[in-house]
Amino acid sequence: MKQVHKPWGGRFTEATDAFVEAFTASIEFDKRLADYDIMGSIAHAKMLNRIGILNDREKDGIVQGLNVIRQKISDGDFVWSIGLEDVHMNIEAQLTRDIGEAGKKLHTGRSRNDQVATDIRLFLRDQIDEIRTWIAQLQTALIDLAEREADTIMPGFTHLQVAQPITFGHHMLAWNEMLSRDYERLGDCRKRVNVMPLGSAALAGTPYPLDRTYVSELLGFEQPSLNSLDAVSDRDFAIEFCAAAGIIMMHLSRFSEELILWTSAQFGFIDLPDAFCTGSSIMPQKKNPDVPELIRGKSGRVYGHLFALLTLMKSQPLAYNKDNQEDKEPLFDTVDTLVNSLRAFAGMMPHVQPRREAMRESARKGYATATDLADYLVGKGLAFRDAHEVVGKAVQLGIAGSRDLSELGLQELQALSGIIEADVYQVLTLEGSVAARDLPGGTAPRRVREAARLAREKLNGGRK
């Protein structure tokens, strides 16, 4: 490997070992930060000009030179060197080759330590904004589906056993609520990401009269960091993001599990669009829910990255350590995995087709209106525990004759409790059971539509 001059090489008497040079280089992955590195450098150059360290000609040359490099990188014409280790030194070395001495002045008052911390924060801020856009798009699809299927009855489950009848729309809005919290959680995380480390230098600040507030404003940060040691060395903002990403992937994994179950022959509740499924190389009849299955699997990948970053940081003394080079690959992969998973879900959900009759028939099989019968008896004056026992006997009677509660005769029911009247059948039907829960947040179709309307207003109401 050809040795290149290191910007830090003045005190060294021998070249870096070729293996060590490759082992310690980060350019293969941190070049992804190039645009953010250039953004930070342009802002830093403008500030150096503002405080008199760069004259106008030098500042203009640096800005122009960095923009030329940015275009070369965008066009794929930039030559990256492992010998120059990372994105920062590659760009700085090329700038100096292109514009001469002024390029050597750009690094005044900063270190790669505060430079990379700034790059990562700029990168992550943009990624959070994109991820929130995908979450909102998925929420829109779920709300649309909820409105369309507000009357579609399905069984609600606990312990994967039929519990009470609900509607498919109500179920979709439960998913929406989870995503709404995910959206807000990322917004909270963004506040702590949006703090500018630049000007902290290596660890102790700098004697130059840097105008950090000016740079912060140029880069759109909320404020400069308050402690130089902390600013260059901690990655808790990235860990917090990965934790939020892990929660989102947990939610997507739960959604995926239900979609996978619902598409199976044993459930048959929905059809997924062909464009999001694959077939079998040997079984011609198969339609496999590969997208939900893959997202379910990718959740573990994101969990692993969270633990990798926690482990990375757990024993580091202040301030910066080379360990932190290992923060980028887990962070980048978390971002990519999350964006792609949300994108897949947002594209798939508008085309999900509920099989209404199959869901309704399934709700009839598990004595889903038993709780409604107990509530009916309580309304007639019976204590709930006594009502619970009466309904348990009614279920036994239904099981013995392979009949639903709504198929039991009035005399049979009255033999269990004399307070039962003919109006009992209003709550023993699936429609009656669903409609009876007519409180805000309930399963009554009008309440589902109302909840969907409120969810859409929240989504489109300029939330931050």
In whole angstroms, what is the distance from residue 271 CA to residue 349 CA?
A: 11
Angular region, 227: left φ>0, alpha ψ -120 to 50, beta rest: beta
Residues making up the chain, counted from first to last: 464
> Which is the catalytic residue, given 5, 74, 264, 280?
280
The verdict on whether 5 is a catalytic residue reads no
HEC sequence for 176-195:
HHHHHHHHHHHHHHHHHHCE
CA distances (Å), origin 228, targets 89, 108, 199, 232: 22, 16, 8, 6
Residues 6+ apart with CB under 8 A from 166: 153, 154, 155, 156, 434, 443
In whole angstroms, what is the distance from residue 299 CA to residue 257 CA?
A: 12
* Of the candidates 414, 276, 252, the residue with the CA atom closest to the CA atom of residue 342: 252
Contact 149, 362 (CB under 8 A): no
Q: Structure tokens of 30?
A: 């941190």
Would you say the C-alpha torsion 318, 322, 326, 327 has a positive or negative sign? positive
Strand segments, DSSP code E, in 48-160 are 153-158
Helix (H, G, I), strand (E, B) or coil at 270: strand
In whole angstroms, what is the distance from residue 231 CA to residue 202 CA?
A: 10
* Of the candidates 187, 188, 191, 195, the residue with the CA atom closest to the CA atom of residue 223: 195
* Of the candidates 364, 421, 430, the residue with the CA atom closest to the CA atom of residue 398: 364
Phi, psi of 14 (to 5 degrees): -140, 155
Q: 445-460 and 168-193 are packed helices; what angle lies between their axes, rounded to 10 degrees?
A: 20
The continuous run of DSSP H or E covering 223 comes out as strand 223-224
The full DSSP string for 319-340 is S--GGGGGGHHHHHHHHHHHHH
> Which is the catalytic residue, given 41, 107, 159, 180?
159
In whole angstroms, what is the distance from residue 156 CA to residue 126 CA?
A: 39
Helix (H, G, I), strand (E, B) or coil at 250: helix
DSSP summary character for residue 443: S
Give the angle 25-199-16 at the CA atoms, nearest 5°.
Answer: 20
Token pair 């250039």 is found at 38
Q: Which residues are catalytic?
A: 159, 280
